[in-house]
A = this chain, B = another copy of it.
Amino acid sequence: MNIAAAQSGGPTCAINASLAGVFSEGRMNSKIDKIYGALNGIEGIINNDLIDLTEVLTCYEDMELLKKTPSAVLGSCRYKLPEYEKDNEVYKKITDCFIKNDIKAFFYIGGNDSMDTVAKLSKYFKENDIDIKVIGIPKTIDNDLKMTDHTPGFGSAAKYLAVTLQEITRDSAVYDVKSVTIVEIMGRDAGWLTASSCVLHANGETAPHLIYMPEANLSHQKILGDIKEQLKIHDTVIVAVSEGITSEDGEYAAADFQSGADDAFGHKYLSGIGKCLEQLVRKEIGCKVRSVELNVMQRCASHMASKTDIEESFRIGSEGVKAAAAGETGKMMAFRRTSSKPFFCSVESVDVNEVANKEKKLPQEWINESGNNVNDEAIDYFLPLIKGEVSIPMKNGMPVHMKIKR
């Protein structure tokens, strides 16, 4: 019998490591013959667009390279399955592909949208007595999946953010003038990644001096007041802000700032919250100010991946294959943290319906009363996830990446 894996949603540094984990465990299992990769997520199954990974990954070095390559080598998609009760055409296509290729288990590496696919597919197979196991392997830099302590990909994003924020802090402090640097961080609805910037405090940095997450509602005046307060204490104020912070009425603050300040700034369209706050500080405080958007580097900077993250992502992929082999289906593999010092996580399977289309917010009790920083509990949670560096194979001074012709 054969198995198949696919990758879905936004890419990360660790999604290929999870694919390597699935592949590696598949190779260890003598009942499994071929291990297929579906191109561009579930669309590759629907269109019978598969590649035989056993022909691509032929030695240990290939596996190592795959683990250390950012983004999704199989390609990704953003495809939502319809309810099969309403439209089962696509389910038939998927089933055809699996049967034709003797695929008995499918591993879908993705975030909460992808877990919706795992939930629907496994339900369809169960109710139609089709013996194909479907297992979700979590993945997202947003760290917002329920039922798991954290998500593969998050640790590497947090590590890149920490390292870069520390360097930006050094850079910001060179001139003998008061200055504000605003760093815009990914995370539309959950502030995990932004909050993780607190790890700098564990290394004796005072930055970031202010941390704004979507979980804390904020007004312009509050933020400006906070910054003025910090400028009294520090010459160089570093502000970590989530792209998705909301203002008091629950709207995205960027939209609010922009529409609310259209004449003053005149920029509804192009700017994120970083640029908005930069403009606000320039106008209302008048000191040196700049903003930095860390953009997609947060999810693809494999050269600064967390070793913990890459190893865990590999492991959770491999545990997924074991779960399917043990007869499980409709499950997502999850981390359960048993200890932070020393760090230890077990991998278990959870009901995918508890994860699909849901979102885990940052605990409110980690956020301080002013809504502009997090406490030591947060630091203890984040620190183990960014530990360790990955040794990257280099050629001509640049990393070597695995590429699969799609």
Is A233 part of the contact surface with B, judged by Cβ < 8 Å? Answer: no
Please determine whether B167 and A300 come into contact, CB atoms closer than 8 angstroms.
Answer: yes
A267: which of B159, B167, B269, B295 is its contact (CB, 8 Å)?
B269
Please tell me which stretch of A66-74, A118-126, A223-231, A350-358 contacts chain B, meaning at least 4 of its Cβ atoms lie within 8 angstroms of it.
Answer: A66-74
Q: Please, how many angstroms separate the alpha-carbon atoms of A290 and B166 in the complex? A: 26
Q: Which residues 352-406 of A sit at the B interface, judged by CB distance below 8 A? A: 383, 386-389, 394-401, 406
Please determine whether B397 and A300 come into contact, CB atoms closer than 8 angstroms.
Answer: no
Min CB distance, A308 to chain B, in Å?
8
- Find the B residue at minimum CB distance from A279: B270
Q: Please, how many angstroms separate the alpha-carbon atoms of A70 and B302 in the complex? A: 20
The contact string, 1 if C-beta is below 8 Å from chain B, for chain A 167-178, is 110111111100
Please tell me which stretch of A144-152, A197-205, A208-216, A332-340 contacts chain B, meaning at least 4 of its Cβ atoms lie within 8 angstroms of it.
Answer: A197-205
A200: which of B297, B299, B398 is its contact (CB, 8 Å)?
B398
Is A275 part of the contact surface with B, judged by Cβ < 8 Å? Answer: yes
- Find the B residue at minimum CB distance from A299: B171
Please determine whether B71 and A170 come into contact, CB atoms closer than 8 angstroms.
Answer: yes
Please determine whether B270 and A173 come into contact, CB atoms closer than 8 angstroms.
Answer: no
Residues of B close to A11: CB separation below 8 A = 170-171, 174
The contact string, 1 if C-beta is below 8 Å from chain B, for chain A 48-81, is 0000000000000000000001111001111000
Min CB distance, A239 to chain B, in Å?
15
Is A32 part of the contact surface with B, judged by Cβ < 8 Å? Answer: no
Residues of B close to A266: CB separation below 8 A = 266-269
Is A97 part of the contact surface with B, judged by Cβ < 8 Å? Answer: no
Q: Which residues 246-283 of A sit at the B interface, judged by CB distance below 8 A? A: 265-271, 275, 279
Please determine whether A202 and B303 come into contact, CB atoms closer than 8 angstroms.
Answer: no
The contact string, 1 if C-beta is below 8 Å from chain B, for chain A 67-110, is 00111100111100000000000000000000000000000000
Please determine whether B397 and A69 come into contact, CB atoms closer than 8 angstroms.
Answer: no
A168: which of B168, B296, B387 is its contact (CB, 8 Å)?
B296
Copies of this chain held together in the complex? 2
Please determine whether A303 and B398 come into contact, CB atoms closer than 8 angstroms.
Answer: no
The contact string, 1 if C-beta is below 8 Å from chain B, for chain A 279-314, is 100000000001011011101111110100000000
Is A40 part of the contact surface with B, judged by Cβ < 8 Å? Answer: yes
Residues of B close to A168: CB separation below 8 A = 296-297, 300
A203: which of B296, B387, B396 is its contact (CB, 8 Å)?
B396
A175: which of B75, B202, B300, B304 is its contact (CB, 8 Å)?
B75
Please determine whether B401 and A383 come into contact, CB atoms closer than 8 angstroms.
Answer: no
Min CB distance, A77 to chain B, in Å?
7
Q: Please, how many angstroms separate the alpha-carbon atoms of A161 and B97 in the complex? A: 42
A176: which of B71, B77, B270, B290 is its contact (CB, 8 Å)?
B77
Residues of B close to A348: CB separation below 8 A = none
A397: which of B174, B297, B387, B395 is its contact (CB, 8 Å)?
B387
Is A193 part of the contact surface with B, judged by Cβ < 8 Å? Answer: no
Residues of B close to A303: CB separation below 8 A = 163, 167, 304
Please determine whether B40 and A176 come into contact, CB atoms closer than 8 angstroms.
Answer: yes
- Find the B residue at minimum CB distance from A8: B174
What are 10 A-B residue pairs whose CB atoms fall within 8 Å in the complex?
A: A7-B174, A70-B170, A71-B171, A163-B399, A168-B297, A176-B406, A265-B270, A267-B269, A304-B304, A386-B396
Top-8 shortest CB links A-B: A71-B170, A386-B397, A171-B300, A76-B174, A167-B300, A387-B397, A40-B176, A292-B295
Known: A40-B176, A267-B269; 13 extra A-B contacts, CB below 8 A, are A75-B176, A162-B397, A163-B398, A167-B302, A168-B296, A168-B300, A170-B401, A200-B398, A266-B266, A266-B267, A270-B271, A270-B279, A306-B397
